[in-house]
Amino acid sequence: MPVSSKTEDLEAFLTVVDTGSFSSAANLLNQQVAKISRAVTRLEDTLKVTLLNRTTRRLELTEEGELFLHYARDGLNVLEKGEEALRLLHHLPSGKLRVDAASPFVFHQLAPLVGEFCQAFPDITLDITSHDSIIDLLEHKTDIAIRIGDLSDSNLHARRLGKSKLHIVASPQYLAQSPISGDASSLNNHRLIGFSDSPALNKWPITQEINLRYSLRASSGETIRQLCLAGQGIALLSNFMVHKDISDGALVPIFCDDIISPNRRESVQAVYYKNSAVSSRISAFLDFIQPRLTL
């Protein structure tokens, strides 16, 4: 029996489910809300079932919708992989690739690799965004996000890129004015720099159970690094952003034996949404950067 569902109707249905509304799906697909609505209705008429219960407040998958969702997703992914395989018979990967990461990771890890990547894959157009908080990949039309720490979102595929150790660091100028003594239990005797918008990052994985008090806070890890370099206090930062500072003597690691490792903040992972097949653009980017990262 021939397949009667149209791919554009399947895409509309999946996008509505993934974004949670017809208007969000229309925005993501750059189409009119009415067109998205007609596509889903047409798919329901073709299948002779109701896939979505529509109320004024929310959308909810029916039992039939839940069942069909997985087949629709898998089917579109297989088609995408097949089309891409044909394109790759004679050409390098091509198209736009949007990558998001926290600003320190962009500055210290991705930016130095962009030139070489663009030379190797001239037909891929990179669009790099920087958010210091976790973003919704669909809402921001992002293909890949680099995330530091454990993942909790089961709707994402993840590829582990490596592990980045943590360092408690301060500048030589700060330490000359406020020498350290003893172990990490003395941290509250110092000016500590923490994150203003991420309470979890202010719980340091150290052997001492201390309620740390912060004299300075900033929303960006890169801002915290700059404050440390300027002698404004002590911070806990990832190796991927301070290893060169430590090597150059601009920052000094302290209380090294008091950091618990492994810990929840060490893992570095690339994530992408399950609705998209692992395109050649994603594979090319991750295969390129992984061996070149200095985590």
Mean pLDDT, residues 51-69: 85
CATH number of the domain encompassing residue 63: 1.10.10.10
Q: Is 1 inside any structural domain? A: no
Q: Are residues 83 and 199 in the same domain?
A: no
Q: Pick from 63, 87, 111: which residue ends a domain?
A: 87
Long-range CB contacts (< 8 A, 24+ apart) of 174-177?
Answer: 174/228, 174/231, 174/232, 174/233, 174/234, 175/252, 175/254, 177/231
Share of the chain above pLDDT 90, in %: 48
**Residue 155 domain boundaries:** 95-164+266-292
The two tokens of residue 246 are 């430590």
Q: Is 76 inside any structural domain? A: yes
How far is 43 from 49, CA to CA, in rounded Å? 9
Cα–Cα separations (whole angstroms), residue 274 to 144, 277, 278, 283: 11, 7, 9, 14
Q: Pick from 67, 87, 107: which residue ends a domain?
A: 87
Answer yes or no: are the C-beta atoms of 93 and 124 closer than 8 Å.
yes
pLDDT, tens only, 69-113: 888 888 887 787 777 667 666 667 888 899 999 999 999 999 999
One-letter identity of residue 178: S
Bridge partners of 128, per DSSP, are 99
Among the ranges 56-70, 127-141, 237-251, which has the highest mean pLDDT value?
Answer: 237-251
How far is 160 from 152, CA to CA, in rounded Å? 14
pLDDT, tens only, 69-80: 888 888 887 787
